[in-house]
Amino acid sequence: MDVITAIHTRRSVRAYTDARVDAEAVRTMLAAAMTAPSAGNGQPWEFIIVDDAARMAKIPEIHPYAGMAPKAPLGILVCGNTAKEKYPGFWVQDCSAATENLLLAAVGSGLGAVWLGVYPVQDRVAAFAAFFELPEKVIPLSFVVIGHPKQEQQRQDRFDAAKTHLNAWQKGKFPQF
């Protein structure tokens, strides 16, 4: 699948088949995540792969929008390691880029996924940190639930010219180049 198709067909998938996600697909998604840009190439990310059904079943207890997690075969917790930051404070952007790459790689691998936000909601941060026994300098940003989607995602074009501006804040039609 080409990257533009992956971008336009990526959706928040919350219903999965019973099929397992194979190790090669997990490696592909993590390799894509680790290829994301990061401030000063600091790469402050850490990933916890969750394939244990009992652990996935407990995720809704620590995240209010994780009802799909117990029915998914896989989850990946994306964390920022502040001890590895080259430029303090940019771990959020770095790990967000890694999360998006992971989501696109999931689509490209024929999988579906949903990004569950953890940071900056402090009770979620604390609950995920405790549940996954994270060191003090490692902060959970997102939990990505992954599986084989029950239905195929269709391409959507969400382009909105009204949200574009040329050279300064101005309203008008998308510029012709």
Residue 28 has a CB neighbour count (10 Å cut-off) of 17
Q: Residue 147 in 3-state DSSP? A: strand
Predicted pLDDT at 1? 83
The whole-number pLDDT of residue 30 equals 98
Domains of the chain: 3-163 (3.40.109.10)
The secondary structure of residue 20, as a DSSP letter, is: P
Residue 177 has pLDDT above 60, yes or no: no
pLDDT digit string (tens) for 16-61? 999 999 999 999 999 999 999 999 999 999 999 999 999 999 999 9
More confident residue, 49 or 9: 49
The single residue listed with the structure tokens 């995540």 is 33
Q: With left for phi above 0 and alpha for psi between -120 and 50, is residue 117 left, alpha or beta? A: beta
Instruction: Tell me the pLDDT band of 165, cut-offs 50, 70 and 90.
Output: confident
pLDDT in tens, 61-110: 999 999 999 999 999 999 999 999 999 999 999 999 999 999 999 999 99
